[in-house]
Amino acid sequence: MADQKVDTSSPTLTWNYVDGDWIEGNVPIIGTTSHASWLGSTVFDGARWFEGLAPDLDLHCERVNASALALGLEPTKTPKEIEQLALEGIKRFDGKTAVYIKPMYWAEHGGYSLVPADPASTRFCLTLFETAMLPLQGFTVSVSPFRRPSIENAPTNAKAGCLYPNNGRALLEARSRGFGNALVLDMLGNVAETASSNVFMVKDGVVYTPVANGTFLAGITRMRIMNLLREAGHEVVEKSLKVSDFMDADEIFSTGNHSKVLPIIGIEDKTLQIGPIATKARKLYMDWAKAG
């Protein structure tokens, strides 16, 4: 079929693969009676293309299928098919601006008593849109009054859309007090992550990150950075960490798919510098991506 074009009110150039077609713009894909629109059965993932590179794209494609299964959906594409579609879609861009790669699944219908998703009604969409990588610039955090749920009361083993309103209110609350982001705790009072990324701290040369305890998504970029730092000779420790540990840190930084490594330059009333470990971690990641 010929490419379709619909509402182009998206903030940047956007292409979507849905129902066998590539369609440009902000595509309406979920109806008023769709299970996803009123009962939240959506999962997604995020990979990146920049400078001719798509690092760990295969792992992101695998994870979106795992997220779908965790939410009771039935993946309709193999990870390899998603990866191939993403690389095909990238060719529709000019190659000058970084692209966000977002595969999604959702349910059209409910199953028993309508509440759980009907796995047979699972639909798929792949969305790609331009968004620049952020430079190695810092942001500030404040401890959020909101907590991360555990696996007993939310699907924390999936990258599920229903988890993100909680992240959103944490961000809004922090920004209302003049901070750029929030440090979010789990239900036991341990630091879990920021409201939009995984988090690391450095003390006396040792790199620490919250242990993956099922309350937050232990990200693909997080694991990649841990491995790269270890290969470079740094001690990296996963453990339960308190706010007091971060307040006493020599350096704090975050990792995530959007911009890979970003330093945190302030926590509450404490100012931090962009540290050497964050700077090195970002360079190690970029060198690894270019070498692959």
Using CB atoms within 10 Å of the CB of residue 111, give its burial: 0 to 12 exposed, 13 to 18 middle, 19+ buried: middle
pLDDT at position 137, please? 87
**Degrees to nearest 5, angle at CA 69 with 227 and 21:** 95
**Residue-range domain boundaries for the chain:** 4-130, 139-291
Per DSSP, which regions of the chain are E strands? Answer: 4-5, 14-18, 21-24, 42-44, 47-49, 99-107, 122-130, 139-147, 181-185, 191-194, 198-203, 206-210, 236-239, 251-256, 260-267, 270-271
pLDDT at position 10, please? 57
pLDDT at position 4, please? 37
Q: Using CA atoms, how far apart are residues 138 and 270, in angstroms rounded to an integer? A: 14
What confidence tier does 170 reach under pLDDT thresholds 50, 70, 90?
Answer: very high
In this prediction, residues 196-225 reach a mean pLDDT of 97
In this prediction, residues 208-233 reach a mean pLDDT of 97
In this prediction, residues 145-174 reach a mean pLDDT of 97
pLDDT at position 9, please? 52
Q: What is the pLDDT of residues 33-67, one digit of tens each?
A: 999 999 999 999 999 999 999 999 999 999 999 99
Kindly report the average pLDDT of the chain as a whole number: 95
What confidence tier does 113 reach under pLDDT thresholds 50, 70, 90?
Answer: confident
CATH topology agreement for domains 4-130 and 139-291: no
Q: Is the dihedral of CA 226, 231, 234, 236 positive or negative?
A: positive
Q: Please say if the pLDDT value at position 5 is more than 50.
A: no
The CATH class that applies to domain 4-130 reads: alpha beta
pLDDT at position 75, please? 98
Beta bridge partners of 263: 253
Instruction: Give the containing element (helix H, strand E) for 50.
Output: none
* Contact of 127 with 116, CB cutoff 8 Å: no
pLDDT at position 7, please? 44
Q: What is the pTM of this model?
A: 0.93
pLDDT at position 283, please? 97
139-291 CATH choice from 1.10.10.10, 2.40.160.10, 2.40.10.10, 3.20.10.10:
3.20.10.10
